[in-house]
């Protein structure tokens, strides 16, 4: 019997990277997992990996920036498994690197639509169900970019600061109702997103590890699994006194 046996976890943006690692860990710990992503192939691959390992999972496509998609997603979770115990709002994009004054409005709208509005819409739908069910856990994916600035990434930085604010407010409003909302702030993690940023920043001259390893006091970037371990722990009864926490998992980056 796993720690999450009989419980259901929803992980958005779980077709790859941190989201996939989180979905796999929830399943390994006994949860029924609802994998959601805008990319069908990646999401279905995650479900296949869970099934091959003997776990329980289903895939539902959703664009988290659209309220109707989010409502259908959470309704689908409850229809399939009868409950939603743990929600991980991970879906996000990085956008393009440019000076603040040169950022395109379309880039800002896309990033805020998915990272900020998408998290907001997901939290609303999740909280409504959790209130009716008597509680649950929410873990939002912020970033060290929600704690400090990064030149060239102003829309992304704004979106992740917004995620942290939403997390704190939800924690204050719903903690006494049995809903624990927390956020994690990854540093450089070995994902497609970091590869994209490295390509933009160095015009393909350096890999993400070459660019980012020296910037982390631990001397390396992290793995999706290292972030997933924290997310799943925060979702577990072992973290029962954690509420409104904003936790870096960044190899010491923001300690500098």
Express each pLDDT in 163-183 by its tens digit. Answer: 999 999 999 999 999 999 999
The per-residue pLDDT for 180 is 98
Here the CATH number for the domain that contains residue 33 is 3.40.50.720
* Res 198: pLDDT: 87
pLDDT at position 1 is 65
Task: With respect to residue 37, please indicate whether it lies within any of the assigned structural domains.
Answer: yes
Catalytic residue of the set 81, 120, 156, 253: 156
- Based on the residue annotation, tell me whether 156 is a catalytic residue of this protein: yes
Mean pLDDT of the chain, nearest integer = 97
| For residues 225-247, average pLDDT | 98
256 found inside a domain: no
pLDDT tens digits for range 101-125: 999 999 999 999 999 999 999 999 9
Asked whether residue 98 is assigned to any structural domain, the reply reads yes
Asked if residue 128 belongs to a domain, the reply is: yes
Domain total in the chain: 1
- Write out the two tokens for 186: 């990854």
**Given a cut of 80, is residue 24 above it in pLDDT?**
yes
- Percentage of the residues of the chain whose pLDDT score is greater than 70: 100
In a domain, 1, yes or no: no
pTM higher than 0.85, yes or no? yes
Q: Containing domain of residue 199, as a range?
A: 8-251
pLDDT for 20 beyond 90: yes
From residue 234, how far is each of 87, 143, 203, 211, 216 by CA, in Å?
Answer: 11, 16, 37, 30, 24
Are residues 138 and 127 in contact, defined by beta-carbon separation less than 8 angstroms?
yes
Kindly report, residue by residue over 54-70, the tens digit of the pLDDT. 999 999 999 999 999 99
Evaluate whether residue 2 is within a structural domain.
Answer: no
């Amino acid at each position: 019997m796993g720690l999450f046996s009989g419980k259901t976890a929803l992980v958005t943006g779980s077709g790859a990277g941190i989201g996939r690692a989180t979905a796999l860990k929830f399943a390994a710990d006994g949860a029924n997992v609802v994998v959601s992503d805008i990319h069908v192939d990646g999401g279905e691959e995650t479900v296949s990996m869970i099934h091959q390992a003997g776990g329980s999972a289903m895939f539902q496509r959703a664009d988290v920036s659209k309220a109707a998609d989010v409502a259908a997603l959470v309704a689908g979770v409850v229809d399939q498994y009868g409950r939603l115990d743990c929600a991980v709002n991970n879906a996000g994009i990085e956008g393009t690197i440019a000076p603040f004054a040169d950022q395109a409005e379309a880039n800002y709208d896309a990033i805020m639509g998915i990272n900020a509005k998408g998290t907001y819409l997901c939290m609303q739908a999740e909280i409504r169900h959790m209130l009716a069910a008597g509680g649950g856990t929410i873990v939002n994916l912020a970033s060290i970019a929600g704690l400090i600035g990064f030149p060239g990434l102003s829309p992304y930085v704004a979106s992740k600061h917004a995620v942290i604010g939403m997390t704190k407010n939800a924690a204050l409003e719903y903690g006494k109702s049995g809903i624990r909302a927390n956020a994690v702030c990854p540093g450089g993690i070995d994902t497609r997103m970091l590869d994209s940023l490295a390509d933009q920043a160095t015009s393909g001259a350096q890999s993400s590890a070459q660019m980012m390893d020296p910037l982390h006091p631990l001397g390396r970037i992290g793995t999706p699994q290292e972030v997933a371990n924290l997310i799943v722990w925060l979702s577990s009864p072992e973290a029962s006194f954690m509420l409104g926490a904003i936790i870096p998992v960044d190899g010491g980056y923001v300690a500098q």
